[in-house]
Amino acid sequence: MVTAVQTRKKPELLAPAGDLDKLKFAVMYGADAVYIGGEKFGLRSKAGNFSYEKIKEGVEFAHRHGAKVFVAANIIAHNEDFTGMEEYFQTLYKIGVDAVIIADPAIIEICAMAAPELEIHLSTQASTTNWQTLKFWAEEGVKRVVLARECTMDEIHKIKENVNIEVESFIHGAMCISYSGRCVLSNHMTNRDSNRGGCAQSCRWKYDLFEDGEDGMEPISPDDDSYTMGSKDLCMIEYIPDLIKAGVDSFKIEGRMKTIHYVATVVNAYRRAIDAYYEEPENYRFNEEWMEEILKAANRPITTGFYYHTPTDVDQIFGTPPKVAQFDFAGIVLDYEENTGIATIEQRNRFAIGQEIEMIGPKRDRFEQKITQIWDEDGNEISVANTPLQRVRFKVDRPVNAYDIMRKRK
């Protein structure tokens, strides 16, 4: 029997790509689409943003593997920010970019005039939380709206009941303490504009609390704890069925500044969860291994954000945060020899003989083993790989493939 869920189009899994390597790993580990930043007009000025040449290479790689590429041009523009904008969008269209993500209405208008065939997605920076606003943007020719992170699951249901437009929602990653990222803390504290790509993440700094006492300002932080204003990270891996039933068209992972290990691990976990649900919706069971994988790449404790309730102190990081089980990204598999069982690894963090490691890949389950021998590129036996990007070889217990990742417990 075919269920209603199985006849509904499977939601897109959209991954961050801070540079070309991350784009390739995101695609190989199961992303249906990736979003990147060009060298202009985006909100991640410190990411490894893409030149036109890199965008072209990324688009060609993604398209060969059946994935799409979206480019973020989601600054809130000042007068001086518009120079070269028409040419920028025209070039992106010629390269073959699948869509651009824009927040500012003036930039949307410029893009629509300069490159009318280039698909426009409304950025989460536009703070969209209701179906009437989505209806307005649909009539303006916007193909998709990235909802504000403040939207609840009930509100998403209501939106999809009233508007025939694609909806994209964040399902994983960092949460901004300010409404839809519209923050001026960074501007005041560091003269770096959050809404033009320069956020210094002032909310993640450690602060002490003081009150005006008889002898001046007196500290009131209990137990000498330092406090942040930061949220726990969003994680919806356990609630894939709810997101699908709400009608979300694209599941978005945050993290263009994160590592290859983070991108590959998180994308892989969500890919498996989504596919498992569509295989047997009526018999779907959450696999705890998916959460274990997520936590191995986690930077902070996790929360469901605004989806089910208004966040409280439980969803914020106060005092000393609880420890999150983390692994170090140790290396990337470049090659594997079937006849010898020996893999060539590009080192990303120090590892040595006798160390327990894990190997993960997009097309198989992870496995653990101990390193017993290591050879350098010249065939010399060595005891430790401690040079960045060093290429070494050692025997693995099971077959591996290029793009597989090696990690070690911290």
Report the alpha-carbon distance of residue 230 to residue 310 in Å, rounded.
15
Q: Are residues 394 and 278 in the same domain?
A: no
- Whole-number Cα distances in Å, 13 to 38, 269, 389: 21, 11, 30
Q: 33 and 161 share a domain?
A: yes
Could you tell me which residues are beta bridge partners of residue 304? Answer: none
- Rounded to whole angstroms, the Cα distance separating 270 from 238 reads 10
Q: 194: buried, middle or exposed (CB in 10 Å: 19+, 13-18, 0-12)?
A: buried
CB within 8 Å of 224: residues ≥ 6 apart: none
User: Mapping DSSP to helix (H, G, I), strand (E, B) and coil, where does residue 55 land?
Assistant: helix
CATH number of the domain where residue 348 is located: 2.40.30.10
240/147 same-domain check: yes
CATH number at residue 34: 3.20.20.70
**Same domain, yes or no: 53 and 118:** yes
Regarding whether 119 and 72 lie in a shared domain, the answer is: yes
Are residues 141 and 121 in contact, defined by beta-carbon separation less than 8 angstroms? no
Mention every residue, 6+ apart, whose C-beta is less than 8 A from residue 394: 342, 343, 345, 371, 372, 373, 374, 375
Residue 312 is classified by DSSP as: -
**DSSP conformational letter for 32:** S
Q: What is the dihedral of CA 245, 249, 254, 259, to 10 degrees?
A: 100
Q: Do 290 and 334 belong to one domain?
A: no
Q: What is the pLDDT of residues 305-352, one digit of tens each?
A: 999 999 888 888 876 666 676 789 999 999 999 999 999 999 999 999
CA 6 to chain CA centroid, nearest Å: 26
Rounded to two decimals, the pTM is 0.90
CA distance 232 to 56: 35
Q: What is the pLDDT of residues 112-166, one digit of tens each?
A: 999 999 999 999 999 999 999 999 999 999 999 999 999 999 999 999 999 999 9
Give the end-to-end CA distance of the chain in Å, rounded to a whole number: 47
pLDDT at 316: 83
Domain assignment of residue 374, given as a range: 327-409
Are residues 23 and 121 both part of a single domain? Answer: yes
Q: How far apart are CA 328 and CA 273, in angstroms?
A: 24
Out of 277, 312, 347, a domain closes at 312
Question: Residue 43 and residue 180: Cα distance in Å, rounded?
Answer: 13
Q: Return the structure tokens found at 280.
A: 């047997």
Number of domains forming the structure of the chain? 2
Residue type, 185: L
Instruction: Answer yes or no: do 12 and 157 share one domain.
Output: yes
Instruction: Provide CB contacts within 8 A for 119, sequence distance 6+.
Output: 98, 99, 100, 143, 144
Dihedral sign, CA of 339, 340, 346, 349?
positive
> Do 99 and 155 lie in a common domain?
yes
Residue 319 lies in a domain: no
Residue 123 is predicted with a pLDDT of 95
Query: Is 361 part of any domain?
Result: yes
User: Are the beta carbons of 116 and 141 closer than 8 angstroms?
Assistant: no
Low-confidence ranges of the chain (pLDDT < 70): 1-7, 42-48, 194-197, 221-227, 319-323, 325
Same domain, 390 and 344: yes
pLDDT of residue 210: 80
Nearest to 41 by CA among 145, 195, 180, 147: 195
The vertex-306 CA angle with 301 and 309, nearest 5°, equals 100
Same domain? 275 vs 340:
no
Tell me if 335 is assigned to some domain. Answer: yes
Q: Answer yes or no: do 30 and 90 share one domain.
A: yes
- pLDDT given at position 135: 97
